[in-house]
Structure 1
Amino acid sequence: MMTRVDKIESVGAAHGARDRAIVIGAGLGGLAAAMRLGAKGYRVTVIDALDVPGGRGSCLHQDGHRFDLGPTIITVPQLYRELWAACGRDFDADVTLKSLDPFYEIRWPDGTTFVAQQDTEKLRAEVAKLSPGDLVGFDRFLRDSEKRYWFGFEDLGRRSMHKFRDLAKVLPTFGMLRADRSVYAHAARRVKDEKLRMALSFHPLFIGGDPCHVTSMYILVAYLEKKFGVHYAMGGVAGMAQAMAAVVEDQGGTLLMDTKVDEIVVRDGAVTGVRLAGGLEMGADIVVSNADSGHTYDHLLRNHARRRWTTAKLKRTRYSMSLFVWYFGTRGTAGKWRDVGHHTILNGPRYTGLLRDIFINGTLSDDMSLYVHRPSVTDPGVAPDGDDTFYVLSPVPHLGHDNGVDWAVEEPRYKARMLKVLEDQLLPGVADAIVTEAVFTPETFRDRYYSPHGSGFSIEPRILQSAWFRPHNISEEARGLYLVGAGTHPGAGVPGVISTAEVLGKLVPAPQVTR
């Protein structure tokens, strides 16, 4: 079997090959990009500092438990089927999706609940349970969502927006759809009940956006979920990432894991390859960065003069919030907490105030809202027989605020507060059942994923940080440099990063093979 060093030397020997492409980062965007390039005929090398593919979608195996580290929900399954088909493969032969219905349950401290699901009448019944007078407004919200889906996702989200004239052409539509209004503001115009406003507006948090400031284009998620459903990939998103890596290797590509890229090499205004942390330079005709766009420009291109994405501009950029994630396994609880499904959202006593603390004030609040992932109710393989695996996530400020949090001090305190919320509102007795655990703080996101400020989802998707205003899929800083992943167009979330690779495939020319 070829060792990592052998792989590096073998790939390095191909320096200067005109059909060589290097992809920095084996996250979902990078793997999808490698698949697209491999289908075009490029000889692709994917390089990642982690020891397994998947990036934020990788997993941790510990004491018989498998913890999905990042994304847990799969939506818009046709995106993945189209990606596999472009490579001459059958997605459903490699990955098994299981439809989840209900999608998730939202709970409030007073015991009120809202169950999101696909059937329209059942969903309207949930609305009526909270606020019967808001049914007409809710129906209007769904129609609004559909319009934004077709424009924002199927149109803008699947083509490059790197030319200003492309933005200028769609500005009238942005105006007509009131893209200047926030997601929360749009929900508030349609429904009066504050809990229902939360249920209709929280989705941007899944891509790192503040619902009170992110463009209302993102209400498209409501239609997207209803139209295509919410799914779980058996084996987790990490299993899907492994399947993507297998396609890359079947195409003749190479994955160099546990290998750090230190710099993108630029000569005479064009990329010529990358330099690894050990100093070895590897040549390529094109370089695709799936690293965070801020890290790409401020670190990997640190020795290259930048025209647009300068250090000063990046310092002015608003990044998404970060995350505090507690992974834990419990013993003998598979038949316990029968009312707790695969996905649960626990609201704190505040909504907009908590958002302001997280995104604007940079304050670690005493109260919190939690997303609880219990995959063992769907996928028994995540835990030993009779046991459970949990993933509990709380949005928290990123590390870039002036009053930054000292996580060495706050980690045990915050986990204790999180445990109290779980014990009181969802999982009574859980403390005595925990047998293994791990915690990710914003510092983990900074150090593990090279994420500026430890942000969970790269650049926040505000209106002036979206479309043309976002780092482009084709870089203006060096010829032959492209970007995919959460920090470029169309943005974060699994469908978003998969779409960045689709856009890439439309931009990159076929290789000029000179063997």
Structure 2
Amino acid sequence: MTRLDPQLVNDATPVGDARSHAVVIGAGLGGLAAAMRLGAKGYRVTVLDRLDMPGGRGSALWRDGHRFDLGPTIVTVPQVFRDLWAGCNRDFDKDVELIALDPFYEIRWPDGSSFAARQDPNAMEAEVARLSPDDVSGLRQFLKESEARYRFGFEDLGRRPMNRLGDLIKVLPTFARMRADRSVYAHASRRFKDPRLRMAFSFHPLFIGGDPTQVTSMYILVSHLEKAFGVHYAIGGVAAIAEAMRNVIAAQGGLVRQNAEVDEILLSEGAAKGVRLSNAEVIPADVVVSNADPGHTYSTLLRNAPRKRWTDVKLTRTRWSMGLFVWYFGTRGTRDLWPDVGHHTILNGPRYRGLIRDIFQQGHMADDMSLYVHRPSVTDPTAAPDGDDTFYALSPVPHLGHDNPVDWAEHAETYRQRVQSVLEDQLLPGLDRHLTASEVFTPDTFRDRYLSPLGCGFSIEPRILQSAWFRPHNVSEEAKGLYLVGAGTHPGAGLPGVISSAEVLAKLVPDPVRAP
């Protein structure tokens, strides 16, 4: 067990600041939200992050006047941010500008049909009726069931700790009544006859790294989130939210340090007492919060500590989310060239369940693909130069842990060309003539940039036996004073889940010791 070395300790306590010190590892949105919550409780907070800007997966890159939003692109439950800001005596809407999207996204199929997801119930019913009139009644039933799962799964379970086995036992009857054992796809198939609508109302787990044919049907709650709260985009991207969070932390007297990589969590008598950076600097702490992936936290940051639950063997047996191939690109003079292409478009390949099986279960790089296309410049003028566009095209791919993983160093450009061909054929004709800036992220990038196990895009897959109590707890059982937040912990991935993990954290961390 590695202990604090007094000769290396950085005792950088500000003069006159005797507050208890909390160190947060990682400036992703979960880490920043945790820092805000702890700052509001009275802690002096230091956030340490290896990147050069806050946001983690929600950070951005700038190329030739284009801002590439690297990760999440939508805000589905603005209230979790408003509650977070209110807990810090701030007003979220004064710091961040949200734009409501309508439609939320358009789904297109190879047969030329399409579906536009809308917030207005009448408009949504009209979209369903246009494709399959017999499925309108199924939509109404599906949305009722979605709301019930939202009330239980998000407002109840998702906003309170689930670290004790008793917490799980109490809710098992409700899980059984709601058929949590049934998958999202299986549930959608019971309500919709048309295969296109089965896809349209079951693909949402892909947004948080889950196989729709395996993820618990509790996640149909996303359809209610969209209906109740809408889908929004933050001007400046999610990176603007991260920057606003850093400003709140600074106003609380906290500090966000970039280019500061944590190498190890340091323990003393079984309790977390600080961290050591990759440059050997040691920072003591009364509380340590890890926003790093739980796999990285336990296998690397606690590599010298005995572990009871999250052993290397258990982590090896864990089912991880899929990998992501993302092509970020800019185009010149195209703002009016593709008027039918909105903010979000989903291009389906010829297969749905078969492609999912190849990605999640077989670990096979298929010849076909489906794409999630983000065009923020139609909503946000700050995303691209005047008259130009900024895009990203995301393709789910196998993570690096399958047999015979893809050698992305060799195949990335070939795959990018395939993505471009699909875009030119189905969405953006003439794309090649307008391309400017270009950047590619592969599972290798996620592994190296975000220290994501197996290069996966969303940490641990949200299957039923990897959710709630079964997921890494927000309070660690491996070391006293160690807590976890973020996509890999309870309640899960996605902006609402990540921000809610910090709300749960605040209920678990004791109040700071007050100086005499």
Distance 2:205 2:441 in 1: 21
Distance 2:272 2:123 in 1: 54
Conserved? CA contact 2:446–2:452, under 8 Å: yes
- 1:277 corresponds in structure 2 to 278
Q: Which amino acid aligns with 2:136?
A: L
Distance 1:167 1:145 in 2: 21
Deviation at 1:13, TM superposition (A): 8.3
- 2:41 corresponds in structure 1 to 40
Spell out, residue by residue over 1:2-54, the C-alpha distance to the aligned partner (whole angstroms, 9 max, x if none).
xxxxxx9563789x976000000000000000000000110000000001000
Deviation at 1:329, TM superposition (A): 0.4
- 2:449 corresponds in structure 1 to 448
Distance 2:513 2:10 in 1: 23
Spell out, residue by residue over 1:269-310, the C-alpha distance to the aligned partner (whole angstroms, 9 max, x if none).
101100111111110000000000000000000000000000
Spell out, residue by residue over 1:149-181, the C-alpha distance to the aligned partner (whole angstroms, 9 max, x if none).
000000000000000001000000000000000
Conserved? CA contact 1:17–1:283, under 8 Å: no
Conserved? CA contact 1:12–1:282, under 8 Å: no
Spell out, residue by residue over 1:86-123, the C-alpha distance to the aligned partner (whole angstroms, 9 max, x if none).
00100011001000111100000111000000111111
SS of the equivalent of 1:278 reads: coil
Q: Structure 2: which 5+ residue stretches go unaligned?
A: 1-8
- 1:152 corresponds in structure 2 to 153
Spell out, residue by residue over 1:163-222, the C-alpha distance to the aligned partner (whole angstroms, 9 max, x if none).
000100000000000000000000001111111000000000000000000000000000
SS of the equivalent of 1:155 reads: helix
The answer to whether 1:367 aligns with 2:368 is yes
The answer to whether 1:101 aligns with 2:79 is no
Q: Which amino acid aligns with 2:384?
A: A
Deviation at 1:514, TM superposition (A): 3.6
Percent identity of equivalent pairs: 69
- 1:177 corresponds in structure 2 to 178
Distance 1:397 1:431 in 2: 27
Spell out, residue by residue over 1:110-142, the C-alpha distance to the aligned partner (whole angstroms, 9 max, x if none).
110000001111111111111111111111111
- 1:246 corresponds in structure 2 to 247
- 2:87 corresponds in structure 1 to 86
Counterparts of residues 396-435 of structure 1 (less than 5 Å): 396-435=397-436
The answer to whether 1:231 aligns with 2:241 is no
Conserved? CA contact 2:10–2:281, under 8 Å: no
The answer to whether 1:203 aligns with 2:204 is yes
Distance 1:309 1:498 in 2: 23
Conserved? CA contact 1:273–1:281, under 8 Å: yes
The answer to whether 1:470 aligns with 2:471 is yes
Distance 2:186 2:247 in 1: 44
Distance 1:96 1:84 in 2: 14
Spell out, residue by residue over 1:325-354, the C-alpha distance to the aligned partner (whole angstroms, 9 max, x if none).
000000000111000000000000000000
Conserved? CA contact 2:10–2:282, under 8 Å: no
- 1:3 corresponds in structure 2 to none
SS of the equivalent of 2:511 reads: coil
Distance 2:406 2:394 in 1: 17
- 1:69 corresponds in structure 2 to 70
> Normalised by the size of structure 1, how large is the TM-score?
0.97
SS of the equivalent of 1:291 reads: coil
Deviation at 1:68, TM superposition (A): 0.2
- 2:392 corresponds in structure 1 to 391
Conserved? CA contact 1:17–1:285, under 8 Å: no
SS of the equivalent of 2:280 reads: coil
Distance 1:324 1:64 in 2: 23
Aligned length: 507
Distance 1:315 1:108 in 2: 37
- 2:133 corresponds in structure 1 to 132
Deviation at 1:484, TM superposition (A): 0.2
Conserved? CA contact 1:323–1:441, under 8 Å: yes
SS of the equivalent of 1:201 reads: coil
Q: Structure 1: which 5+ residue stretches go unaligned?
A: 1-7
- 1:330 corresponds in structure 2 to 331
Spell out, residue by residue over 1:220-242, the C-alpha distance to the aligned partner (whole angstroms, 9 max, x if none).
00011000000000110000100
Conserved? CA contact 1:318–1:460, under 8 Å: yes
SS of the equivalent of 2:303 reads: coil
Conserved? CA contact 1:23–1:287, under 8 Å: yes
Distance 1:411 1:464 in 2: 34
The answer to whether 1:143 aligns with 2:131 is no
> Normalised by the size of structure 2, how large is the TM-score?
0.97
- 2:495 corresponds in structure 1 to 494
The answer to whether 1:19 aligns with 2:15 is no
Conserved? CA contact 1:18–1:284, under 8 Å: no
- 1:482 corresponds in structure 2 to 483
Spell out, residue by residue over 1:237-265, the C-alpha distance to the aligned partner (whole angstroms, 9 max, x if none).
00010000000011000111001100000
The answer to whether 1:509 aligns with 2:503 is no
Distance 2:69 2:357 in 1: 28
- 1:5 corresponds in structure 2 to none
Distance 1:212 1:11 in 2: 50
Spell out, residue by residue over 1:457-494, the C-alpha distance to the aligned partner (whole angstroms, 9 max, x if none).
00000000000000000000000000000010000000
SS of the equivalent of 1:11 reads: coil
SS of the equivalent of 2:479 reads: coil
Q: Which amino acid aligns with 1:350?
A: R
SS of the equivalent of 2:242 reads: helix
- 1:57 corresponds in structure 2 to 58
Larger mean Cα displacement after TM superposition, 489-498 or 504-513:
504-513
Q: Which amino acid aligns with 1:43?
A: R
Larger mean Cα displacement after TM superposition, 404-413 or 192-201:
404-413
Distance 1:492 1:267 in 2: 31
SS of the equivalent of 2:112 reads: coil
Distance 2:165 2:121 in 1: 39
- 1:120 corresponds in structure 2 to 121
Distance 2:450 2:64 in 1: 24
- 1:165 corresponds in structure 2 to 166
Q: Which amino acid aligns with 1:475?
A: S
Distance 2:137 2:64 in 1: 50
Deviation at 1:513, TM superposition (A): 2.9
Conserved? CA contact 2:10–2:283, under 8 Å: no
Q: Which amino acid aligns with 2:89?
A: G
- 2:4 corresponds in structure 1 to none
Distance 1:134 1:317 in 2: 37
Task: Extract structure 1 runs of 4+ deviating beyond 4 A.
Answer: none
Deviation at 1:512, TM superposition (A): 0.6
Q: RMSD across aligned C-alpha pairs, in angstroms?
A: 1.3
Distance 1:235 1:383 in 2: 11
